[in-house]
Amino acid sequence: MTLKDVIRKVFLVEIVKGMALTFSRLFTRPVTRRYPKEKRPAEPGFRGLHALVRNPATGDAKCVGCGLCAAVCPSRCINVYTSEGPEHQKVVDGYEIEVLRCVFCALCVEACPYGAIALTPHYEYADYSREALFMTKERLLDNWDRYMGEEGLRYFDSFWNPKEAHFKPPRGQAMFKGRIIGGFSG
């Protein structure tokens, strides 16, 4: 141990340096937020709680039950149940997402040919039971009304509609181009 080290130890130089930094911060603006009181707005495209897009024309979900979201989901947390309706149309009886298993990759949003599923900016949904985080079709539609609504269509257009050719699929690649009901043009 050299003399220099001994002096640094005896006079607590490191601690003084640290405390000096602490002291200097007393006079700056705080960077943290007082979270429950002060909420931070989500950035565009934030992947929060799931929602099923409500079709303003019919009042029901836009989802047609193609199941591509469930097919692409890496954590297999989506289940879609369909059946034949009275006019031989396809009816989505159930759409379930187990939020606790979701990894928020948003591949479902990307895969959906109709823009029928969204991840809302809402992120405050901690709860005490698993059931509370098991989303049924009704709850997902409710999420849309509550956390997206009118905003939602803008969200799709500005975030999920690729503006740059770079993000579009390669030329000649077959892909399904669905008709998006009410919004999401292009």
Give the binding site for other proteins (CB under 8 A): 64-68, 70-71, 80, 82-84, 88, 90-91, 113-114, 172-178
CB within 8 A of 44, min separation 6: which ones? 155, 158, 159
Question: Using CA atoms, how far apart are residues 183 and 186, in angstroms rounded to an integer?
Answer: 9
The token duo for 147 is 């956390």
Residue 67 vs 152, nearer CB to other proteins: 67
Residue 80 vs 108, nearer CB to other proteins: 80
**How many Cβ atoms from other residues are within 10 Å of residue 59's Cβ?**
8
User: How near is the Cβ of 24 to other proteins at its closest, in Å?
Assistant: 59
Residue 68 vs 148, nearer CB to other proteins: 68
User: How near is the Cβ of 80 to other proteins at its closest, in Å?
Assistant: 8
Phi, psi of 24 (to 5 degrees): -65, -30
User: How near is the Cβ of 41 to other proteins at its closest, in Å?
Assistant: 34
User: How near is the Cβ of 134 to other proteins at its closest, in Å?
Assistant: 15
The token duo for 133 is 């985080």
Residue 7 vs 71, nearer CB to other proteins: 71
Residue 116 vs 153, nearer CB to other proteins: 116
The token duo for 134 is 């098991």
Nearest to 119 by CA among 46, 63, 69: 46
In one-letter notation, the amino acid at residue 9 is K
User: How near is the Cβ of 83 to other proteins at its closest, in Å?
Assistant: 6
